Chains A and B, each alone.
Chain A
Amino acid sequence: MTDVLVCIKRVPDTSGQVLLTDDEQSVDARFVGFTVSNHEHAAVELAIRMADATGGTVTLLSVGPADAVEQLRSTLALGCQAAVLVEAEPTGLGPADVAAEIAAVVQDKAFDLVLLGNDAADSGDFQVPVRLAYALDRPIVVGASSVEIADGRLKSFVDGPEGEETYDLPLPAVVSVLEGGVEPRYPSLKGRMAAKKVEIETRTPTREPVGANRVRLTLPPAEPNEVEVLGEGPGTAPAVVDLFERLAVL
């Protein structure tokens, strides 16, 4: 039985053009709303599969604003059992602060396995999972596409530069997950209704944040999307097949 903690972050959905708030400290989500990153969706999917396979549970944790309850609920709907919110103003938090808050919850609740996304979709820090591992004094696998638990050990797989790399380590451990290894599920109606009934535990931060060292956000000049027109009509076929060869799909 594996009880997994998965950390998720309320982030602006960035499938549209990114806009900034007037204070240049955050992404303005008014047209797109908030979501959870694909890495974290993959982490949740892996956790649910592990929990289902072992009769365990999945607990969600978010460190963020009160509104992050929205993301906790919609993720609970996928088939998770519990959720914790450490309520804190997100612009004041740096990666070390988030790692410290997660660590406090993990220590308090004694989770053997913590999954996180590889990097946050908004702040792109690439470090919270590692800092968490150090805070907990646990080993970490970074960028895993899948995980397995067998005989109290964790097998984790990473798409490395030379092929699929296998890690094999004892629990307790921390894993950061990269999207692509599993197809995350969508919520079902029953899941959504079950999620409504879950009481979300709210906590306050355990320490004063050190902050994110952010001066401000800016927007880079937009790069025009240049379509290359290969040509008109069936005579284009050789050029298309040349391209297929270059892409090594033939």
Chain B
Amino acid sequence: MATVPSKAQVVVIGAGIVGNSLVHHLARLGWNDIVQLDMGPLPNPGGSTGHASNFIFLTDHSREITDLTLDSVEQYQEMGVFTKSGGFEIARTEERMEELRRRMSSAKAFGIEAEIVDPAFVKEKVPFIETDQFIGAFWQPEVGVVDSLRAGTIMRERAMETGALTVVPNVEVTDLDVEDGRITRVHTTDGSIEAGTVVIACGVWSPKIGDMAGISIPLTPAVHQMISVGPCPQLAETEGEITFPIVRDMDTFCYERQHGADMEVGSYAHRAILHEPEDIPTIEQAKLSPTEMPFTDEDFDPQLEQALELMPELLGADGAEMRYAINGLLSLTCDGQPILGESLVKGLWTAAAVWIKEGPGVGRAVAEQMTQGYSEIDIHHCDIARFYPHQMRREHTRLRTTESFIKTYGIVHPAEQYESDRDQRLSPMHDSEQKFGAVFFEAVGWERPQWYESNSDLLEVYGDAVMPREHEWDSRWWSPIINAEHLRMREAAGVVDLTAFCLFDIEGPEGSGSALASVQQTCVAQCDVAVGKVIYTPVLDAKGGFVSDLTVMRLGEDHFRVVTGGAHGQSDKKWFADRLVEGATLTELTDEVSTIGLWGPQAREILASLSSDDLSHEGFGLLTCREITVDGISVLASRISYVGELGWELYVSFADAAALWEKLLDAGQPHGARPVGIGVYATTGRIEKSYRAFGYELDAERTIVEASMQRPKVKAADFVGKADYLKQREADPQAVLCTLAVDDHTSASGVKRYMLGGEPILTRDGGTLTDGHGHHPHVTTAGSAPSLGKHLLLAFLPPAEASVGNELAVSYMEELYPVTVVSADATPAFDPDNLRMR
């Protein structure tokens, strides 16, 4: 029996696909004293890996998840545990066919071999399928199955061969010690281990282990029902595990996957059946394994009927019996993303809520981050630091996963909003916004007006200039009022609620320079500027990829304020907090300071009517900030714009924000100003200016140079990523971020179509383009540019294609639309000389 050592460099808790992959990659990257624990026996300790159906479909609408999947498949193939079977996603409805066409877009964008095929094509490969049950299918020949348990054994063995790994099965973690915010010790039923680094990779049990260290790992164990029907005579004579392609019956939320002589039928159609991590049985208590819960027949019955209709001869064959049926537990999160990275406890990492298809890729990425601070594949959407307190509640996860479970195979619009657990964070202006008929979209709990129904009168004012959309899908979660608001802002002014911004102050003792040193080494831009300057800056990781882009205001010699987007604000906060220089402190102000944007040609007039401060261009220059008084309210005003207009971001205490909002609207009314939603702020105003957004154009796999955001000079002071950034500046870019305009929207049916993002950019005649990374260009942001009367797209193009006037095409729902490059660098498509900002 292996025993628990008293010390380790790193302890990995869990021996499922994720833990096994982690120990392998950690050993490969040079970690030499790894201890892996699991409370179950090997090779199947009884977690979700043990009952997984183990098939891998490659195409996901998320590039991050697709990349992790592709990397995982490569790893499985290298280990010799991948069997290619091919896979179909079949459509029973025209609406689903449209979704499959959208999947084709993603497949092309991410370089996955795929094809839309007719039922006869499916029948040829799956002879026991009934073709009258569906109208078409999405065929991916590279789909396959893996032996995830075998992969785990191989990965553990590889780590053990290097002498780096000790595996101790049948040992349960009982507690974690945290001292001064750092993990120090793991207690087990077989003794304690001192360790400065610990990874929680134990799937459905992770929240329970996280609680031991006081961190929230907000995932919920949820049931996925699966039955095995066999032996089917059509399968019994085949050799090996799988001969026939896997069929995903998308409209019934089911799959049929051959496993030897049996057909496994899995379902995501049932009600969400959630469990608490504490209520999972022990190995001894369980009927099968702890994550194979008793099957609840009645939840599965409707699927049986549909499956039988689809494959009557196979599933209804004599002797084909339901021999195995489980309510298998897997992990779901509030946003559907895994939970990866270092937690708020130093040295305590997580790698949870991961599917078999991503397991090895996740193991590699997390091991890379643990070793070098960055990973080859950007995983920021999965960062555990992303969660705000309201998202750490189990209630939130339960409500959201209850709502999203049925969407596992669903047709989910890219802008689709959750209905549950809303109204968690309300801005001080919320009541007023409701009166304006705000249509609220949620951003990390904040309710943000996307547009205001009260502005619908502007539709008539601007007529066709609001670029109405004919197709329901294109106009779902959208309104032409957004474009009307945009036009009014450019014409007069708009007032925008930006309360969702994440704000934090970095301060140091007077004269210590620690605050400056902290921001200086974190930000690319020169931060040693005069007090009252506003700095827009990228933040890079050690290899020169984007961690964020944000603004920093110098409010005092030893006082900086960081303003960043709400979506990744918590990750940014952790990034800065982890890099504070001795003596510096970080204080979050998100829930104390609200932000209101006022922009447009009338902005100065409006603000001046409420303030006696000097607001002239000379007196209050671009990229400066200062305290002003607006009709008796003390406000920190910053002259900056994300929509390319004259104006300010006004930072005001929550207590005064609603009053300021009302005053601005009142004062603005005679000037034609309107409240304007996030639809303008985040999309139309931004895209006309070709402004880049983190999480869309910018991520850790992109560089400043590729995004054409380099300044003439690089500051002398050192900062994270500087060395690589300097190299990037010297080299030719592998891809160039461009702005493209759609030349003609007319589809074959005559209906004008408007891309929403994610679509592949091709040559005019549909040929594939490939950049220097081997990636295929796809749309990172799509949106109306009402002031130009154009629909604009942002995309990283191969450098050879990145020239203004270059004629290309975008594929949308499997039709080609002509596009032309309108900007091959950061030059805005609208107001290229930024005259309106003055």
Contacts and interface: CB of A to CB of B under 8 A. Distances in A.
Contact flag (A, B; Cβ within 8 A): yes
Interface in A62-88: 70, 73-74
Interface string B279-313: 10110111110000111111001001101100000
B323 interface: yes
Interface residues of A, number: 23
A189 B297 contact: no
Contact of A189 (B279, B285, B286, B316): B316
Contacts of B307: 189
Given A188-B322, A189-B304, A31 B229 contact: no
A204 to B, nearest CB: 24
Contacts of B293: 31, 33
Contacts of A29: 294
A15 B287 contact: yes
Nearest to B308: A189
B316 A192 contact: no
B390 to A, nearest CB: 30
Nearest to B297: A74
Interface in B216-245: 229
B284 A196 contact: no
Contacts of B301: 192-193, 196
Contacts of B285: 16-17, 19, 31-32
Nearest to B287: A32
A15 B283 CA distance: 11
A225 B285 CA distance: 15
A123 B308 CA distance: 38
Interface in A166-215: 185-190, 192-193, 196
Nearest to A192: B304
Contacts of A186: 321-323
Interface in A101-157: none
Given A74-B297, A189-B316, A13 B287 contact: yes
Given A189-B307, A189-B315, A192-B304, A31 B287 contact: yes
A188 B316 contact: yes
B320 interface: yes
A13 B316 contact: no
Given A17-B284, A31-B293, A189 B320 contact: yes
Interface string A6-18: 0000000101110
Contacts of B284: 16-17
Interface in A1-45: 13, 15-17, 19, 29-34
Given A32-B294, A33-B294, A189-B304, A16 B322 contact: no
Given A188-B322, A189-B229, A190-B316, A16 B286 contact: yes
Nearest to B327: A33
A188 to B, nearest CB: 6
B320 A16 contact: no
B282, B297, B298: residue with the most chain A Cβ atoms closer than 10 Å: B297
Contacts of A70: 297-298
A193 B287 contact: no
Nearest to B321: A186
A101 B419 CA distance: 50
B320 A17 contact: no
Contacts of A34: 294
A33 B294 CA distance: 5
Given A70-B297, A70-B298, A193 B282 contact: no
A32 B282 CA distance: 11
B757 to A, nearest CB: 42
B308 A31 contact: no
A226 to B, nearest CB: 15
Contacts of A13: 287, 294
Given A16-B281, A188-B322, A193 B304 contact: yes
Contacts of A193: 301, 304-305, 308
Nearest to B279: A30
A58 to B, nearest CB: 17
B286 A188 contact: no
Contacts of B281: 16, 31-32
Interface string B496-520: 0000000000000000000000000
Contacts of A15: 287-288
Contacts of A32: 281, 285-287, 294
A185, A188, A193: residue with the most chain B Cβ atoms closer than 10 Å: A188
A122 to B, nearest CB: 15
A16 B321 contact: no
A192 B287 contact: no
Contacts of B315: 189
Contacts of A74: 297
Nearest to A17: B284
A34 B279 CA distance: 17
Nearest to B298: A70
A193 B281 CA distance: 31
Contact of A31 (B286, B295, B297): B286
Contacts of B286: 16, 31-32
A224 to B, nearest CB: 12
Given A186-B322, A188-B322, A189-B304, A33 B297 contact: no
Interface string B336-351: 0000000000000000
A31 B329 CA distance: 12
A194 B492 CA distance: 69
Contacts of A187: 321-322
A222 to B, nearest CB: 9
A83 B648 CA distance: 75
Contacts of A196: 301
Given A32-B294, A192-B301, A17 B282 contact: yes
Contacts of B316: 188-190
A73 B299 CA distance: 13
24 contacts: A13-B294, A15-B287, A16-B287, A17-B285, A19-B285, A31-B294, A32-B281, A32-B286, A33-B293, A33-B295, A33-B296, A34-B294, A73-B297, A74-B297, A186-B322, A188-B321, A188-B322, A189-B307, A189-B320, A189-B322, A190-B308, A190-B316, A192-B304, A196-B301
Given A31-B281, A33-B293, 18 more contacts: A16-B281, A16-B286, A16-B287, A17-B284, A31-B286, A32-B281, A32-B286, A33-B287, A70-B297, A70-B298, A73-B297, A187-B322, A188-B321, A189-B229, A189-B308, A189-B320, A190-B308, A190-B316
Which A-B residue pairs are the 10 nearest by beta carbons? A33-B294, A31-B281, A186-B321, A17-B284, A32-B287, A17-B285, A15-B287, A31-B285, A16-B287, A16-B285
Interface of A: 13, 15-17, 19, 29-34, 70, 73-74, 185-190, 192-193, 196
